[in-house]
Structure 1
Amino acid sequence: MTATRYESYVICTSPRSGSTLLCSLLEATGVAGVPDSYFHQPSVAEWIKDLGLSPDPAKGEVETLQEVFRKAIALGSGDTGMFGLRLQRHSFACFTEKLALLHPDPATDVGRLEAVFGRTLFVHLTREDKLDQAVSFLKAQQSGLWHRAPDGSELERLSAPQELRYDREAIAAEMAEMVAMDAAWADWFKGEEIDPLRLTYGGLSADPIGTLKTVLTALGRDPAAADTVEIGVAKLSDATNEDWVRRFRTEATGTQA
């Protein structure tokens, strides 16, 4: 049986689920685009800024959106003929709202997505342990450091470091948010009749190259393109993460560590 040939893929995810690692692996193959969060903030003005475009008040909203999506597709495809997009749940509502303005005729979100990006594979990347995910998110917010390379150099820092401080209420709130994001994706997949390729943080962490080959195969690309790929993102979890997780669980059960 011939594998389906896709023109694009969307990694549907939530923060601290391993999407940066997955995106870097896919880009490194040279055959699967340059996946990134091209519509990260729920704001067209931010999309224009992030894509390196110049605002033009003379253009209407639809014309502006056409320019934005053209630029995103060019950047997210590179010279591979495939567009890759990472879509965080917090930007989903704005993204689909603007898609509907750009392509009002399709009756579904999937129809609008494929009107822009072509035949699309949906990948659902989740992190099974929501406590670990919430702790990772809170620690990244406080430290300002979101991603590090295997050699220890910083890949992404969004703010100056603050003092790391355990905050039970903040962790609980983030856990609830992560659960809600997963539930929202599940509801959307059901409503749109999507059967996504399902990946987990645990599986990706344990076997990044094997996971990469799974995605390439699903996309109809040669999985051998993964053979020479090197891992470019390191885990940030350390003793602080372990301590916060242990403390949270201890407080939740009312027992002593």
Structure 2
Amino acid sequence: MTTAPTSGYLLCASPRSGSTLLCDLLTRSGVAGAPASYFRPESIPVYADDWGSDGGRAGWGNSYLEAVRVHGTGDTARFGMRIMWTDMPPFLQRLADVEPGGGNDRERLHSALGVERFVHLSRHDKVAQAVSLVIAAQTGLWHRHADGTVREGHEPARRPRYDFDLIADALAMLVGEERGWLRWFSTQSIVPFSLTYEALSSDPSGSTRAVLDHVGASPVDLPDVTAAGTAKVGTLVNTEWAKRFESERHARDR
């Protein structure tokens, strides 16, 4: 069994909900660990290789869990981790295998990683979220640095192509993610701190302070979190697609 940090939190998110921005802001605070997607299936082999821990085809084990605890805590007193609902069930199943014993998901998260608090980041405008997801998938550009350079992905080689069905599928997936989180919170008797993409975008500093207060990590002097390392990648194309989709959806429903 790993030695869990004194206190930890789980950032419960969905794709294109602003979680990368929030992770940046929380890390920049200097008091809330270094939240990241440590249990994203595509990322586990990369992290495991960098850390020299298990995490290959046989699945991650105690050494990987210990490395996540260390890196997710950093030089602070709190552990932070981000995860999407899609990745949550397999993560919990593997955690139950690695950390056997009694208790529910919530108790196991506390035992293994010190997780005591939960932050639910969602996006009110799910059509805009679905459009953002489709455009990112089509162009290969997922995030930019604050200076406009590519942070994750690559510069688009071609313009994205509007596709009603792709957006509808993305929307259904995102609605499913939201329902999955809400069901899990209910079964685990969890009341998370709820934050929306819209609130985070309009007031990143205030939103960060609110999250830090919830996880018990409010600093005396919060750095300038508005100078985050992530820039918004949405353009007028996103707005045009969202309006077109809503119009076509309403026409099909008649």
In 2, Cα distance between the equivalents of 1:56 and 1:10? Answer: 22
Match of 1:213 in 2: 209
In 2, Cα distance between the equivalents of 1:97 and 1:65? Answer: 12
Q: How does 1:42-53 map to 2 (within 5 A)?
A: 47-51=44-48, 52-53=50-51
Counterpart of 1:111, as a letter, is E
- Does the C-alpha gap of structure 1 residues 144 and 6 become closer, same or farther in structure 2, counting only changes over 3 Å? same
In 2, Cα distance between the equivalents of 1:150 and 1:222? Answer: 25
Asked if the contact 2:54–2:63 (Cα under 8 Å) also holds between the matched residues in 1, the reply is no
Match of 2:18 in 1: 18
Shift of 1:6: 6.4
In 1, Cα distance between the equivalents of 2:218 and 2:121? Answer: 21
Q: How does 1:1-257 map to 2 (within 5 A)?
A: 7-41=7-41, 47-51=44-48, 52-54=50-52, 65-157=61-153, 161-229=157-225, 230-254=227-251
**TM-score if structure 2 supplies the norm length?**
0.89
Structure 1 unaligned spans of 5+: none
In 1, Cα distance between the equivalents of 2:154 and 2:63? Answer: 27
Counterpart of 2:118, as a letter, is F
Counterpart of 1:25, as a letter, is L
In 2, Cα distance between the equivalents of 1:78 and 1:56? Answer: 20
- Does the C-alpha gap of structure 1 residues 161 and 107 become closer, same or farther in structure 2, counting only changes over 3 Å? farther
| Alignment deviations for residues 116-165 of structure 1 (CA, whole Å, 9 cap, x no partner) | 11242111000011100000000011111111122211111168644410
Asked if the contact 2:17–2:197 (Cα under 8 Å) also holds between the matched residues in 1, the reply is yes
Shift of 1:106: 2.9
Matched residues, number:
245
Structure 2 unaligned spans of 5+: none
Shift of 1:107: 2.1
In 2, Cα distance between the equivalents of 1:21 and 1:39? Answer: 18
SS across alignment from 2:231 = coil
- Does the C-alpha gap of structure 1 residues 55 and 202 become closer, same or farther in structure 2, counting only changes over 3 Å? closer
Q: Which range moved further: 228-237 or 157-166?
A: 157-166
Q: Which range moved further: 242-251 or 206-215?
A: 242-251
- Does the C-alpha gap of structure 1 residues 9 and 119 become closer, same or farther in structure 2, counting only changes over 3 Å? closer
Asked if the contact 2:7–2:114 (Cα under 8 Å) also holds between the matched residues in 1, the reply is yes
Asked if the contact 2:53–2:67 (Cα under 8 Å) also holds between the matched residues in 1, the reply is no
| Alignment deviations for residues 42-87 of structure 1 (CA, whole Å, 9 cap, x no partner) | x7xx524323244779x9x69x510010111111111112111001
Q: CA RMSD in A?
A: 2.4
